Structure 1
Amino acid sequence: MNFKQLGLSDDLIKILNKSGIADPTPIQKQSIPQIIDGKDVIAEAATGTGKTLAFLLPLLENINPKSNEIQALILTPTRELAIQITNEANKLKEFNDISILPVYGGKDIASQLKKLNNNIHLIIATPGRLLDHLERKTIDLSKLKTFILDEADQMLLMGFKNEVESIISKMPRKKQILCFSATIDSSVKKLAYRYMKNPIEVFIKQNDIALDAIEQDIVETTDRKKRDALCKVLDEDNPFMAIIFCRTKRRVDELEAVLHTRKYNCEKLHSDIPQNKRERIMKSFRNAEIQYLIATDVAARGLDINGITHIYNYDIPESVESYIHRIGRTGRAGESGYTCMFIDPKNIKDVNEIEDVIGFKIRRRNVEI
Structure 2
Amino acid sequence: MTLFSDLHVHEAILRAVQEMGFEEATPIQAEVIPKVKNGRDIIGQAQTGTGKTAAFGIPLIEQMSQDEKYPQGLVLAPTRELAIQVAEELNRLGRFIGVQALAVYGGQEMTRQMKALKRRPQIIVATPGRLMDHMRRRTIRPQYMKIVVLDEADEMLSMGFVEDIETILAEVPEERQTLLFSATIPKRLQSVVHQFMKNPEKVQIKSKGLTVANIDQRYIEVPEKQKFDTLCHLLDITPPELAIVFGRTKRRVDELSEALTQRGYLAEGIHGDLRQAQRDKVLRKFKSNTIDILVATDVAARGLDVSGVTHVYNFDLPQDSESYVHRIGRTGRAGKEGVAYSFVTPKEMSHLRFIEETTKKKLTRNDIPTSQEAMQGRYQQAVDQLIKTAEKGNLKDLEQIAKTLLESYDPVTLVSASLKVTTKEPEQVKVTLTEEASLRPKKSRRKQERRGRSSQHRFTTESRVRGKRKKK
Please, what TM-score do these two structures have when normalized by structure 1? 0.93
Aligned to 1:291: 292
Q: How many Å apart are 1:62 and its aligned residue?
A: 2.1
What do the CA deviations read for 1:292-347 (whole angstroms, capped 9, x no partner)? Answer: 11111111112222111111111112222222221122111111111111111222
Query: How far apart are the structure 1 equivalents of 2:190 and 2:253?
Result: 32
Q: How many Å apart are 1:67 and its aligned residue?
A: 3.3
1:1-16 to structure 2, matched below 5 A, reads 1-16=2-17
1:210-229 to structure 2, matched below 5 A, reads 211-229=212-230
5+ residue gaps, structure 1, are none
Query: How far apart are the structure 2 equivalents of 1:120 and 1:12?
Result: 17
Contact 1:267 1:290 in 2 (8 A): yes
Q: How many Å apart are 1:250 and its aligned residue?
A: 2.3
Aligned to 1:368: 370
Partner of 1:189, secondary structure, is helix
1:164 matches 2:165: yes
Task: Tell me which moved more, 157-166 or 79-88.
Answer: 157-166
1:11-90 to structure 2, matched below 5 A, reads 11-90=12-91
Larger % of helix: which?
2
Query: How far apart are the structure 2 equivalents of 1:107 and 1:301?
Result: 18
Q: How many Å apart are 1:271 and its aligned residue?
A: 0.9
Query: How far apart are the structure 1 equivalents of 2:163 and 2:203?
Result: 26
1:322-341 to structure 2, matched below 5 A, reads 322-341=323-342
User: Structure 1 residue runs of 4+, over 6 Å off?
Assistant: none
Contact 1:221 1:344 in 2 (8 A): yes
Query: How far apart are the structure 2 equivalents of 1:209 and 1:14?
Result: 33
1:53-202 to structure 2, matched below 5 A, reads 53-202=54-203
Task: Tell me which moved more, 10-19 or 224-233.
Answer: 10-19
Partner of 1:273, secondary structure, is coil
Partner of 1:230, secondary structure, is helix
Query: How far apart are the structure 2 equivalents of 1:149 and 1:175?
Result: 13
Partner of 2:70, secondary structure, is coil
Partner of 2:172, secondary structure, is coil
Change (3 A) 1:132 1:357: closer
Contact 1:48 1:329 in 2 (8 A): no
5+ residue gaps, structure 2, are 372-472
Q: Which residue type is aligned with residue 258 of structure 1?
A: A
Partner of 2:75, secondary structure, is strand
1:243 matches 2:278: no
Aligned to 2:317: 316
Change (3 A) 1:98 1:289: same
Q: Which residue type is aligned with residue 302 of structure 1?
A: G
Change (3 A) 1:252 1:114: closer
Change (3 A) 1:126 1:356: closer
Q: Which residue type is aligned with residue 170 of structure 1?
A: E
Please, what TM-score do these two structures have when normalized by structure 2? 0.74
Q: How many Å apart are 1:208 and its aligned residue?
A: 5.5
Q: Which residue type is aligned with residue 250 of structure 2?
A: K
Q: How many Å apart are 1:73 and its aligned residue?
A: 0.5
Partner of 1:180, secondary structure, is strand
Partner of 1:202, secondary structure, is strand
Aligned to 2:233: 232
Q: Which residue type is aligned with residue 16 of structure 1?
A: V
Task: Tell me which moved more, 29-38 or 270-279.
Answer: 29-38
Query: How far apart are the structure 2 equivalents of 1:347 and 1:6?
Result: 48
What do the CA deviations read for 1:211-232 (whole angstroms, capped 9, x no partner)? Answer: 2211111111111111111111
Q: How many Å apart are 1:111 and its aligned residue?
A: 3.5
Q: How many Å apart are 1:158 and its aligned residue?
A: 2.0
Query: How far apart are the structure 1 equivalents of 2:331 and 2:224?
Result: 25
Change (3 A) 1:64 1:107: same
Partner of 1:212, secondary structure, is coil
Task: Tell me which moved more, 98-107 or 136-145.
Answer: 98-107
Contact 2:29 2:54 in 1 (8 A): yes
Query: How far apart are the structure 2 equivalents of 1:175 and 1:322?
Result: 33
Contact 1:210 1:331 in 2 (8 A): no
Q: Which residue type is aligned with residue 81 of structure 1?
A: L
Q: How many Å apart are 1:181 and its aligned residue?
A: 2.3
Higher RCO (C-alpha 8 Å, min separation 6): 1
Identity between Structure 1 and Structure 2 (%): 43
Query: How far apart are the structure 2 equivalents of 1:97 and 1:203?
Result: 32
Aligned to 2:428: none
Contact 1:102 1:123 in 2 (8 A): yes
Contact 1:48 1:304 in 2 (8 A): no
Q: How many Å apart are 1:99 and its aligned residue?
A: 3.2
Change (3 A) 1:360 1:85: closer
Partner of 1:201, secondary structure, is strand
Contact 2:220 2:341 in 1 (8 A): yes
Query: How far apart are the structure 2 equivalents of 1:331 and 1:153?
Result: 24
Query: How far apart are the structure 2 equivalents of 1:183 and 1:251?
Result: 29
Contact 2:242 2:311 in 1 (8 A): yes
Partner of 1:353, secondary structure, is helix
Q: How many Å apart are 1:176 and its aligned residue?
A: 0.9
Change (3 A) 1:361 1:156: closer
Q: Which residue type is aligned with residue 152 of structure 2?
A: E
Count how many residue pairs are aligned between Structure 1 and Structure 2.
369
Q: How many Å apart are 1:14 and its aligned residue?
A: 2.1
